[in-house]
């Protein structure tokens, strides 16, 4: 399995890139979120990869962050979602927007992605709900700041606020806010609204 490529970016034509790793050129398909963050051709690049072997092809998908790769792999587990659809979703939505869409069960965000209809969006929301739960947000996004945000969100939900209000309040918190302080700040912002 190829997990990571490090080399010189020799070609980039959306959605494909070619990376020269010690004389071997690896072709990868990347989501547009990764593509826009690539350096100029001829420069050093590192991509995390997902390798797929099929009867008729061996395909390599590249990602700029582990968060994108983890999300891509979760999307592939959804019935009816293949690699092309997963790349389209990651190209059309940031990981944070996808997690928020799943948390709020908003099909509207997903149907804006080319190739994703209402039924597919509903299936995605249903199957990803447990994977991208509020606690899953911290697992996907990594870091203690997101974990604190999850705790603040759970506290607001326990206090009776709906998920939409709670998420909006948590989104306004500074990144390094502690749980207790985060709850106070979120309650203040909710009382103003």
**Residue 170 to residue 186: CA distance in whole angstroms:** 6
Q: What is the mean predicted confidence (pLDDT) over 138-158?
A: 63
Three-class secondary structure of residue 63 per DSSP: strand
- pTM (2 d.p.): 0.69
Is the CATH number of domain 143-192 1.10.8? yes
Parse the chain into domains and list their residue ranges: 4-63, 66-128, 143-192
pLDDT digits (tens, 9 = 90+) for 93-135: 888 888 888 887 888 888 888 889 999 999 998 898 877 754 4
66-128 topology per CATH? DNA polymerase; domain 1 (1.10.150)
- 160, two tokens: 């009776």
pLDDT at position 144 over 80: no
Report the half-sphere exposure of 67 (CA within 13 A, side-chain side).
Answer: 20
Determine the pLDDT at residue 43. 96
- What confidence tier does 55 reach under pLDDT thresholds 50, 70, 90? very high
4-63 topology per CATH? OB fold (Dihydrolipoamide Acetyltransferase, E2P) (2.40.50)
């Amino acid at each position: 399995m190829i997990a990571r490529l490090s080399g010189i970016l020799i070609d980039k034509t959306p959605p494909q890139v070619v990376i020269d790793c010690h004389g071997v050129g690896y072709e990868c398909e990347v989501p547009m979120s990764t593509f826009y963050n690539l350096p100029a051709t001829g420069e050093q690049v590192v991509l995390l990869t997902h390798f797929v072997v099929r009867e008729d092809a061996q395909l390599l998908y590249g990602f700029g962050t582990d968060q994108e790769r983890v999300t891509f792999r979760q999307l592939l587990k959804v019935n009816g979602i293949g690699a092309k659809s997963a790349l389209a979703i990651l190209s059309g939505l940031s990981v944070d927007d996808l997690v928020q869409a799943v948390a709020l069960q908003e099909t509207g965000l997903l149907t804006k992605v080319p190739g994703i209809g209402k039924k597919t969006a509903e299936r995605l929301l249903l199957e990803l709900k447990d994977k991208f739960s509020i606690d899953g947000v911290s697992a996907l996004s990594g870091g203690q700041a997101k974990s604190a945000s999850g705790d603040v969100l759970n506290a607001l939900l326990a206090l009776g606020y709906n998920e939409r209000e709670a998420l909006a309040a948590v989104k306004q918190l500074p990144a390094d806010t502690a749980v207790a302080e985060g709850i106070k700040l979120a309650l203040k912002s909710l009382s103003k609204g």
